Chain A
Amino acid sequence: MTATTSTTSTTARTRRTPEPATTFLGMPPFPTAARAALDNTVQRKNLRHATHTIRDKRAQVVAEVPEWEQLRVAGAAIKDRTLRHLDTYLVQLEESLTRAGAHVHWASNAEEANRIIIDLVRAAQPDVADPDVVKVKSMATQEIEMNEALEHAGIAAWETDLAELIVQLGHDLPSHILVPAIHRNRSEIREIFLDEMGLYGEPAPYDLTDEPVQLAAAARKHLRTKFLNASVAISGANFAVADSGTLVVVESEGNGRMCLTLPQTLISVVGIEKIVPTFADLEVMMRLLPRSSTGERMNPYTSMWTGPSEGDGPQNVHVVLLDNGRTDILGDEVSRETLRCIRCSACLNICPVYERVGGHAYGSPYPGPIGAILTPQLRGLEDKADQALPFASSLCGACFEVCPVRIDIPRLLVHMRHKVVLKKKEQHRLPTMEAATMKAASWVMGDHRRLGAALKASSSSGSVLRGPLGRTTIGPMPWPASSWTTTRDLPAPPQQSFRDWWAHEHEQRPAQAQATGSDHAPGRTEEEQR
């Protein structure tokens, strides 16, 4: 206890950037985290509003493109081909980048990547004890928790994307791939700016209102000093063109352009699946991405760079190629299509589960349907939290419909569930209650006589449950039925199963099936109308 306190206070003294109140690691499994998130009424409203707005915008601009389906097919094909020959394309990318004057580093995991980045930042400013770096919004750096690694090394990493800035200043975690502060509303953002900006740089004006223009102006002013002070920028990349060695960053605010052009040193952390072979392939992606992500026809700021340009922009250009579990995903023939993902977030915005629980409950920077399949593949299935993720979906299929690269997320969720079941069988010497139930049910469904006997038992129990008054529904019941009946009624089993009715009916009218009236059709509904 004492040790913990002293560590915390040391950290608090030396910290340079806002400390996140929680970390993704160690969060409770999805059902528990979701239960808590569902009670956050402000977040529920914020998410409902935001997801519906983006969802509708997307639907509108996608409907404008008659060849959308062909584009999706092309996008999927380009990604599949690239992944199939990833070894070749990676070597080609390294050669192209090196030829263009960039330095290529290979990182097999988060720790390696962070060490490389820290060394590069230190080498760029050997005389500065506590360097600052500015960041372009990047999922790869979220994935490797780079900001915290840099903080521990005495380096302050400043987010410059407006939403990431809100998250960072709010001691918060991102809850969406594209709009990480989606769970916040304007008045919350105003309060964060007023409370926090002054502690980490240019304060917000004391009379700040929650008008978007004013909030953006406060952020712009706060960020300006960060841009001007940093001599190192860190970015991710949306795409890396193998044959030219060009990196591409797609953003909306111009903060990325500032980071990519002002500092002397630029470090880009790029997942190895970000490769497209040529510029012609990039064209397809650039048509798919903006409409799917922000619901825009064209992206506001698209920056492309091919190594350093003499006398213009960063003179030291580094690229860290990150594996961190990606080659494991590539090894699974079924689920490798997960790596097609271009991080557009369309699946989050359409998902009825995400809309209600938000991103934090997924315990990863990758939330929503794509996170439910990607995170447990990147991190493995040892942990309970990772085992729960593939089940965080009703399998409604809306995510697949909107995915610009046709990742069959529902199918992959089921595939991952199967892997979870196999993993649990390996972890538990005795079968879990669920596994035992499934085994028993499987035995019943293997033979119609066994099912018939089970249905007879169900009908008899039904007469008890229906009671003397002939109730048609059952109210609250004890565990495990309580997970259903706490909030929903359950129909009472009928007096006769269909197969018993059929047998009875066909004893009475052998062979001669004749049209009958409606007398036995909607019986239940009349009862329920009572």
Chain B
Amino acid sequence: MNASSPPTAPADRGTSTVTQNARPGEGVRVALFATCVNDAMYPQTPQAVVTLLERLGCTVEFPVTQTCCGQMFTNTGYYEEAMPALHRYLETFEPYDYIVAPSGSCVGSVRDQHPILARYESGSADSAFVERVDALAARTLDLPEFLVDVLGVTDVGAYFPHRVTYHPTCHSLRITKVGDRPYQLLKAVRGITLVELPAREECCGFGGTFSMKNAATSTAMVSDKARHIEDTGAEYVVAGDNSCLMNIGGMLSRQRSGVATIHLAEILAHTEPARDAAEQGAS
């Protein structure tokens, strides 16, 4: 499979990748769940998902009735307040086979917490509502899962000539269990220098409202994370979740550390400008 082929000279590999493997998403319709944090604060991330998935041949739709997974409410203990978001999610995404979000945490919330909330609201484990919620939860995927498991692609034709370290976010690690899929994807990016992050599996200290309610402890955690990131000498720290990156980036920025945060989708969407031009000329 092309995805696991060893790196070769960019010029040779570029075309062969594109012709054999570039559009594994042809005929696949995807509903993009942008997530409220990205919608409001990091539009470039869902934009990158659109770029990436369309480049791979998918038909990307953004159902405009979507809002939020409700995690902020659930994790703070406000179950009742999470319900409108859950119902909105169900009504918006039920018609789709694949719902893809660039966030391990929001996907984790849909998969892990929506079933709990549905049972809480309906008071039983076998209502039709619960079944619908469970079924939709199972079709909701984090971006790396969709790319690797559904499209079967690890080399997405990206180019990113920078020194990068990857922080596996807690919920992608322990709830959605994306495992080494992000690594597989990053390793296939041309020009990238991937450096290992020390103590990478340790939480950055975000934790949603935890970062406000226990700001001091959260800060102690993220300052250690920032130190580990700086130790790698990377220009970018990449992760699959902008909430964690907002915390990590907030500390790195305050320290004027010279390390930027970037979402995985943005690296994967990034291609070599010259090659793009050549491809468009050829097609």
Contact = CB atoms under 8 A, between A and B. Distances in A.
A524 interface: yes
Interface string A473-484: 101000010011
B62 to A, nearest CB: 5
A414 B74 contact: yes
Contacts of A435: 78
A395 B210 contact: yes
Nearest to B251: A488
B47 A391 contact: no
20 contacts: A35-B216, A38-B216, A352-B202, A357-B220, A394-B205, A394-B210, A395-B75, A396-B202, A417-B76, A421-B76, A442-B73, A447-B88, A448-B65, A448-B66, A448-B67, A487-B251, A498-B43, A498-B46, A513-B59, A524-B44
B56 to A, nearest CB: 8
A95 to B, nearest CB: 37
Given A496-B43, A521-B47, A488 B219 contact: yes
Interface string A352-382: 1100110000000000000000000000000
Contact of A391 (B43, B210, B223, B236): B210
Contacts of A418: 77-79
Given A518-B51, A518-B273, A520-B51, A455 B214 contact: no
Interface in A10-46: 30-31, 34-35, 38
Interface string B239-254: 0000000110111011
A142 interface: no
Given A395-B207, A502-B64, A525-B266, A516 B54 contact: yes
Interface stretch (A214-222, A279-287, A307-315, A397-405): A397-405
A332 B50 CA distance: 45
Nearest to B250: A488
A521 B44 contact: yes
B260 interface: yes
B99 to A, nearest CB: 15
Given A394-B203, A394-B221, A521-B44, A498 B216 contact: no
Interface stretch (B5-13, B33-41, B189-197): B33-41
A493 interface: yes
A31 B213 contact: yes
B28 interface: no
Contact of B270 (A34, A352, A493, A518): A518
A529 B253 CA distance: 10
Contacts of A521: 44, 47-48, 51, 266, 269-270
A34 B220 CA distance: 11
B114 interface: no
B133 interface: no
Given A441-B81, A521-B51, A447 B44 contact: no
A448 B88 contact: yes
Q: Is the interface of B mostly helix, strand, loop or mixed?
A: helix
Nearest to A496: B43
Interface string A483-498: 1101111110110111
Contacts of B227: none
Given A391-B213, A501-B47, A502-B64, A518 B271 contact: yes
A54 to B, nearest CB: 15
Nearest to A424: B77
Interface of B: 34, 36, 38-44, 46-48, 50-51, 54-55, 59-60, 62, 64-68, 70, 72-85, 87-88, 92, 112-113, 116, 170-171, 173-175, 201-203, 205-223, 235-236, 246-247, 249-251, 253-254, 260-262, 266-267, 269-271, 273, 276
B253 A528 contact: yes
A337 to B, nearest CB: 14
Given A396-B203, A518-B270, A528-B260, A446 B67 contact: yes
A439 B82 CA distance: 9
**Nearest 5 Cβ contacts at the A-B interface:** A394-B207, A488-B250, A417-B77, A446-B84, A396-B203
Interface of A: 30-31, 34-35, 38, 352-353, 356-357, 390-398, 400-401, 411, 414, 416-421, 434-435, 438-439, 441-448, 451, 454-455, 458, 473, 475, 480, 483-484, 486-491, 493-494, 496-499, 501-503, 513-518, 520-525, 528-529
B98 to A, nearest CB: 15
A514 B260 contact: no
Contacts of A493: 40-41
Most A CB within 10 A of own CB, among B217, B222, B262, B269: B217
B254 to A, nearest CB: 5
A261 to B, nearest CB: 44
Contact of A394 (B206, B254, B276): B206
Contacts, number: 253
A501 B32 CA distance: 14
Contacts of B271: 517-518
B203 A352 contact: yes
Contacts of A38: 216-217, 220
B212 A484 contact: yes
Nearest to B43: A498
Contact of A515 (B36, B51, B72): B51
A491 B214 CA distance: 20
B270 A494 contact: no
B210 A397 contact: no
A501 B43 contact: yes
Nearest to B82: A442
B217 A356 contact: yes
Contact of B260 (A391, A401, A420, A529): A529
A14 B211 CA distance: 47
Contacts of A398: 170, 174, 201-203
Nearest to A391: B213
User: Considering residues A38, A398, A454, A488, which has the most beta carbons from chain B within 10 angstroms of its beta carbon?
Assistant: A488
Contacts of A400: 174
Given A414-B74, A494-B41, A528-B249, 8 more contacts: A394-B203, A398-B203, A418-B79, A451-B68, A455-B39, A489-B249, A494-B44, A525-B260
A352 B42 CA distance: 27
B273 A498 contact: no
B276 to A, nearest CB: 4
A445 B67 contact: yes
A443 B208 CA distance: 19
B85 A446 contact: yes
Given A451-B67, A484-B211, A484-B215, A396 B174 contact: yes
A487 B253 CA distance: 10
Nearest to A530: B260
A525 B77 contact: no
Nearest to A516: B51
